[in-house]
Amino acid sequence: MILMANKVSVDLPAEVFDAKTNVALIHQVVVAQQAAARQGTHKVKTRSEVSGTGTKPFRQKGTGRARQGSMIAPHMIGGGVVHGPTPRDYSKKVPKKMKAAALRGVLSDRARAGRVHVVDALVESTSTKAAKQALEGLGGRNRNWLVVIDRGDDAAALSTRNLPSVHTLYADQLNTYDVVVSDDLVFTQAGYDAFLAHAQGANKEEAK
């Protein structure tokens, strides 16, 4: 598959950009990624942890009211909470091969739809306006862009960080979720080379 974008012609290797798209696998990986992002620090106090007296609020008999044993019981105002959330780890274990296959699948889907672009460089120097115009020149407006750059491309990183419809990642950070939620994927030449080297290295590891 040959791709032309912004005067840059690159050969998209079929093992990365023309793989089978397994929707169920992509969904599983995205759910696991979202779960891993949860802090899991939610906490409520039980009746043993709330501040309050443990004495009987009023005598057992003679008041006409229902008997009560404590002011910190769950049904009392300011009392403890039963079956509430406690700190936990939401992360799910997903094998590296499944993550890599899901990423290849969603990249291939974008490539087949003509939604993958490669440019020599997004901007020559730091300029948010220039970065916005460059992206609009690739595919018009009202799109969510995922820009993949090399670690040393500070100009592109600074130019795109304030654009609300643009999310920028370094090549070694590219993941399934960010590709799924983006309409178009834009690689700089250096970012593309770095990603391809990483992806092909992972493929060799899987083949062992």
Using one digit for the tens of pLDDT, what is the confidence trace for 130-163? 999 999 888 767 789 999 999 999 999 999 999 9
Q: Is residue 198 scored above 50 in pLDDT?
A: yes
Q: What is the pLDDT of residue 139?
A: 76
Residues 68-127 pLDDT 10s: 999 999 999 999 999 999 999 999 999 999 999 999 999 999 999 989 999 999 998 999
| Contact partners, residue 115, CB within 8 Å, separation at least 6 | 139, 183, 184, 185
- pLDDT tens, position by position, 27-79: 999 999 999 999 999 999 999 999 988 889 999 999 999 999 999 999 999 99
What's the pTM?
0.80
- Which segments of the chain does DSSP mark as H helices, in order? 14-17, 23-36, 96-112, 128-139, 154-160, 176-180, 189-207
Q: Order of strands, edge to edge, in the sheet holding 184-188?
A: 116-119, 184-188, 145-149, 166-170
